[in-house]
Structures are given as C-alpha cells and as structure tokens.
Amino acid sequence: MADMALALVPQLLNLIFMALLITNLYLLGSSRLGSLIWTAGAQGALLAALPLFPQVGEFSTHAVILAAGSGMLKGAVIPWLLLWALRDANIRRDVEPLVGYSLSLTFGVAVTGLSFWFAEKIAGGLHAGEGAPFVAVGVSMALCGMFLIASRTKALTQVIGYLTLENGIYVFGVSLAARQPFVVEMGIFLDIFVFIFVGGIVMFRINRTFDRIEKGRAPTEDAP
C-alpha cells in the first residue's frame, strides 16, 4: 500500500505541473476578470503544494511553513483582495487587449514549448535531472506573466500578470529551496508583501479615478 502511494507521487507532481500550465493558458485566453482572479487563486493554491514533494527536498517543518504560508497568501488572501478591487472598480472584462486572445494562446503554447527545450539545456547544472520540469514550468509561467503585463490594458489583468510572473519565479525557486531555503523564502514573502501594497492599494485608487491605466496614453487625453 505504501509502495503504491509512493509510486503515485511522481504522477501527482506531473498532474500539478499540468494543471499549472493549463491555468497559465487559461489566463492568456480568457477575458473575464472574475474567472481570471479565480484561476490565479487556483494557481497559487496548486503552487503551495510543491514544497511538500520529495523531489524538492526533505520533508521538514520548513517545507510545511513554506507551503502553508504561500498557500494562504497566493491561494486565499491575494484572490480575495483582487476580488474586492474588482467589485470596487466595477469592470468585468478586459475588452481591449493589445494582443488578441487567440494569438495570446498561441504565444503561450510556443513559449511553453521553448521553455521545455530551455530547461533541458540548463537543468543539468542546477539539479540532477529532477529540476528540469520545475525550470520549464517556472520559466513558461514567468514569460506568460510578462506577456500578460505587456499585452493587456486593464490594471487588474496586469496585476494578475505580475502574480503569474511571481508564481513562475516561485516554481523556479522552489526547486532550489533545499539548498538556499532562507533566501528563497525571504524573496517570496517580501515580493508578495510589496505586491499587496502596490497592487492592492494603488490599483484600488487608480481604478476608481480613471477606470483603467493605459500605457502609452496619458489619462488626461481620455477626457472628452
């Protein structure tokens, strides 16, 4: 029984990676802000399980704290904050992306393919074999997040893009956590802390005033 359970662990890890990549593509292909936030939350909750896997490192109190902390923040607190901002900003869809949704999806698939290729190249130096999927998924999520920031016009979607970028870095970092636990943890929690302040509060105000941030155009030009 215990052997069978142990054999299921790599399958489960694969499943989590797959789910992460799917949420990633969903973020690129959907325009509804509400479901974007839920998806980003689901992504955060999935990520939180990663430190508990034996592929990452020994099972320890450290790992449990890391998992519980990031699960709380990425899976519950941040989505709740974003949903609150969404209600307040009174917008439901990102209707004017700079790059269309189908094209974004194509980009997402292409980037995922590239990052798997890239991971094969560099993973050998990081972690013997085990780290390759972590690097691939992490890089692909980070790139998709950057793409979201650059290609969407609503502030909320851009914050979700930033969150995805962060999540990608987290996946990348978690594969190194066994060696550099303190640095990784500090990085994760500080970044999130900054994000909450900048993202939550600033966006809350800005959305109320201008209804959206548009890059490349000053807000005053919006006035009739």
CB of 11 to other proteins, least distance (A): 5
Compute how many residues bind other proteins; rule: CB under 8 A.
22
Site track for other proteins across 1-20, x = CB under 8 A: ----------x--xx-xx--
CB of 209 to other proteins, least distance (A): 32
CA distances in angstroms from 185 to 10, 18, 63, 140, 172, listed in the order given? 24, 24, 10, 21, 12
Establish if 132 lies at the interface with other proteins (CB under 8 A): yes
Q: At what angle do helices 33-48 and 155-174 cross, to 10 degrees?
A: 10
> Which of 9, 60, 65, 120: binder of other proteins (CB under 8 A)?
120
Establish if 106 lies at the interface with other proteins (CB under 8 A): yes
Establish if 108 lies at the interface with other proteins (CB under 8 A): yes
Please say which residue, 10 or 173, places its beta carbon nearer to other proteins: 10
Q: Which residues bind other proteins (CB under 8 A)?
A: 11, 14-15, 17-18, 21-22, 25-26, 29, 101-102, 105-106, 108-109, 112-113, 116, 120, 132, 136
